[in-house]
C-alpha cells in the first residue's frame, strides 16, 4: 500500500544521517498513551489540564494526521516491527492472556534493530504482545530491562485481571506485575507493591532507569503508559482537579489524563536532571482512539476505540527534540505508526534495514518520515485520493460500527477534505471509487493472515503462584 506515492513529508531533520557525521545518535524517548481521546488534550480542549504536554507541543511538531490501528495489540505490533498488522497475524482484536500466541517470533523488533547501532533499551508499562512463552517477553525481544504488565490492563491497586482484563470476571484471575533484566524474571508482590497505584510504581521505575543509564550511550526508552485505559480508577488528588465535571466517571477519567501528563513532565525533568534532555528525541502518541465507554471524548471525530472511523484510528501525536529543524507548528502530512520503525532505525539511529524487509506493499512499510521534508505540499491529504487514510474510507463487514446508515449498508465512503467528521456517506453516489477500493481491499486480503488460537487452560495463574506468567506454550 502506498500513502500518496510514499512521499511522506515532515519539516523535520531527525536522524544521524541528516545531522553532522560527528554527532552521536539521540536518546529516543517513545511515549505511548493508552486509549487517549482525540479531544482529551489541551490543544484540542482547553478545559483539559495537560500543561506538560502543552509545553512540549509548543516546541514540537504536532502530527495532526497520525494514524494507528483501532486497538492496542495491533498498533503495538506495527510499531515494534514496521509491518502492517494484517500481514503479521495481528489484525484481529487483541492478544488475550489465555491464548497461546504473541508477536510472531520470526520478526525483528525495533529495540533489536536499535541494539545493532549501540542503543540500550528500557521499557516501562504495558506490553500486550504476548507472554505465554519466555521468547515472547520484552527482554527476549530486544529490551534490556522491563517493568510493567504483560497483558492489556489490570486493576490499578491490586494489579489483578481476568482473561477478560478488567472488563468482566472470567474463569481465571491473576496478578500481572513483573520486572525483567539480565538477572531474571521477577513476579512483583509484597508491601512495596501491594495496594500501590500502578502508575506510581511506574513513575519510580522510570526515574530509576533514566538515572542509572550511562548518558554516553544512546538510550531507547519505551514508556507505555496505562492511562487512560479502563478501569477508570485514579487517586483523588487527580480527579479533584476537575470539580466542575459533574459526572464521576468523566471526572476520574480526566484525572487520569492529568496524571498521564504529569508522568510525561517527570520524564522530561529527569532527562534534564541527568543532562540528557538536549540530546533526546521525544515522541508521543496514543495507541488508538478514546474509549467512549469510559467517557473518553473523540469529539468532533466520529467513532471510538475498536472502530475504523476517524475517532478510532486517528491519534494525538507529536515529535520533539534533537534533530528537528522547525518546531511550534501543526503538520498535516499523512503518517501511520508503522512509519516510525524505518524512520527511527535509519534516520535517527543510523542503522540499516535488510533488503528483504524493504518490500513496499504487502509485507513491509518502508515509509521513512524524513523523505522530502522540505516540501510540505508533497502529501497533503486534501490533494490525493488513497485507500483508508486519505480522501476515502471504506468499511466492510464491520459489526461494531455505531450509528449505521438508514439503509443498513456496511460500505462507507467519506470525502475527508469536505467532510472530516464523516457525517455523509457518499458510497452510493460514487460507485467507481467504491469498486476501486473494493478491488484494493481484495488485493490486501490475499496477503492477510491471522493466528488466533483457542484459549488454553494451561494459562491458569494458579499454576504460577497466582501470576499471569510464561511457561505454558
Q: pLDDT digit string (tens) for 69-95? A: 999 999 999 999 999 998 898 887 899
Over residues 149-171, the pLDDT tens digits come to 999 999 999 999 999 999 999 99
**Among 12-16, 52-56, 327-331, the least confident range:** 12-16
β-pair type (178-181, 145-149) = antiparallel
Over residues 99-123, the pLDDT tens digits come to 999 999 999 999 999 999 999 999 9
Q: From 470, 286, 364, select the one nearest 113 (Cα to Cα).
A: 364
Alpha carbon distances (Å) from 186 to 129, 159, 435, 467: 18, 15, 54, 11
User: Which pLDDT band, with edges at 50, 70 and 90, does 11 fall under?
Assistant: very low
List Cβ neighbours of 53 (8 Å cut-off, separation of 6 or more). Answer: 41, 42, 261, 264, 284, 318
The predicted model gives 407-412 an average pLDDT of 67
Tell me the residue length of the chain: 473
381/306: higher pLDDT: 306
447/319: higher pLDDT: 319
Over residues 248-297, the pLDDT tens digits come to 999 999 999 999 999 999 999 999 999 999 999 999 999 999 999 999 99
Residue 391 reports pLDDT greater than 80: no
List Cβ neighbours of 452 (8 Å cut-off, separation of 6 or more). Answer: 89, 92, 99, 101
Q: For position 357, what pLDDT does the model report?
A: 52
101 is catalytic: no
User: Which pLDDT band, with edges at 50, 70 and 90, does 298 fall under?
Assistant: very high
On whether the CB atoms of residues 315 and 285 are closer than 8 A, the answer is: yes
H helices present in 303-381, as ranges: 310-313, 340-342
Catalytic residue among 4, 27, 101, 128: 128
Catalytic residue among 72, 132, 379, 390: 72
120 pairs with which residues across the strands?
A: 219
Residue 18 reports pLDDT greater than 50: no
The predicted model gives 428-441 an average pLDDT of 90
**Among 51-65, 130-144, 182-196, 415-429, the least confident range:** 415-429
379 is catalytic: no
Domains of the chain, earliest start first = 16-380+450-464 (3.40.720.10)
pTM of the model: 0.89
Amino acid at each position: 500500500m502506498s500513502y500518496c506515492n510514499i512521499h511522506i513529508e515532515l519539516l523535520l531533520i531527525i536522524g544521524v544521517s541528516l545531522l553532522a557525521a560527528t554527532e552521536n545518535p539521540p536518546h529516543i524517548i517513545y511515549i505511548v498513551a493508552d486509549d487517549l481521546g482525540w479531544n482529551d488534550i489541551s490543544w484540542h480542549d482547553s478545559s483539559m489540564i495537560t500543561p506538560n504536554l502543552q509545553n512540549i507541543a509548543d516546541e514540537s511538531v504536532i502530527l495532526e494526521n497520525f494514524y494507528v490501528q483501532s486497538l492496542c495489540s495491533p498498533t503495538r505490533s506495527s510499531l515494534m516491527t514496521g509491518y502492517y498488522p494484517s500481514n503479521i497475524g495481528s489484525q484481529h482484536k487483541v492478544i488475550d492472556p489465555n491464548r497461546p500466541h504473541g508477536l510472531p517470533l520470526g520478526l525483528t523488533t525495533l529495540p533489536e534493530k536499535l541494539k545493532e547501532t549501540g542503543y540500550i533499551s528500557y521499557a516501562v508499562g504495558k506490553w500486550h504482545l504476548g507472554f505465554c512463552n519466555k521468547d515472547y517477553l520484552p527482554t527476549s525481544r530486544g529490551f534490556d530491562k522491563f517493568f510493567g504488565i504483560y497483558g492489556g490492563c489490570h486493576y490499578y491497586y491490586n494489579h489483578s485481571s481476568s482473561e477478560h482484563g478488567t472488563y468482566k470476571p472470567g474463569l481465571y484471575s491473576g496478578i500481572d506485575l513483573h520486572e525483567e533484566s539480565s538477572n531474571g524474571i521477577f513476579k512483583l508482590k509484597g508491601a512495596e507493591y501491594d495496594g500501590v497505584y500502578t502508575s506510581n510504581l511506574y513513575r519510580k521505575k522510570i526515574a530509576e532507569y533514566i538515572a542509572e543509564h550511562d548518558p554516553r550511550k544512546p538510550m531507547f526508552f519505551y514508556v507505555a503508559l496505562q492511562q487512560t485505559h479502563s478501569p477508570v480508577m485514579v487517586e483523588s488528588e487527580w480527579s479533584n482537579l476537575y470539580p466542575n465535571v459533574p459526572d464521576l466517571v468523566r471526572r476520574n477519567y480526566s484525572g487520569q489524563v492529568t496524571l498521564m501528563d504529569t508522568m510525561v513532565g517527570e520524564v522530561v525533568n529527569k532527562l534534564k536532571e541527568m543532562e540528557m534532555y538536549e540530546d533526546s528525541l521525544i515522541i508521543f502518541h496514543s495507541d488508538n482512539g478514546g474509549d467512549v465507554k469510559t467517557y473518553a471524548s473523540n469529539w468532533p471525530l466520529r467513532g471510538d476505540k475498536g472502530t475504523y472511523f476517524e475517532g478510532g484510528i486517528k491519534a494525538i501525536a507529536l515529535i520533539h527534540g534533537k534533530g528537528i529543524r522547525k518546531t511550534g507548528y501543526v503538520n498535516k502530512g499523512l503518517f501511520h505508526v508503522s512509519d516510525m520503525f524505518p524512520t527511527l532505525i535509519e534516520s535517527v539511529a543510523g542503522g540499516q534495514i535488510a533488503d528483504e524487509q524493504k518490500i513496499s506493499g504487502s509485507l513491509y512499510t518502508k515509509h521513512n518520515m524524513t523523505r522530502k521534508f522540505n516540501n510540505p505540499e508533497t502529501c497533503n491529504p486534501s490533494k490525493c485520493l488513497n485507500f483508508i487514510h486519505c480522501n476515502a474510507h471504506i468499511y466492510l463487514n464491520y459489526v461494531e460500527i455505531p450509528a449505521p446508515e438508514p439503509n443498513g449498508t456496511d460500505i462507507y465512503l467519506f470525502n475527508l477534505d469536505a467532510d472530516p467528521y464523516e457525517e455523509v456517506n457518499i458510497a452510493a453516489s460514487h460507485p467507481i471509487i467504491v469498486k476501486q477500493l473494493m478491488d484494493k481491499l481484495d488485493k490486501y486480503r490475499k496477503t492477510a493472515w491471522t493466528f488466533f488460537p483457542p484459549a488454553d487452560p494451561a494459562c491458569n495463574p494458579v499454576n504460577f503462584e497466582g501470576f499471569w506468567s510464561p511457561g505454558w506454550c
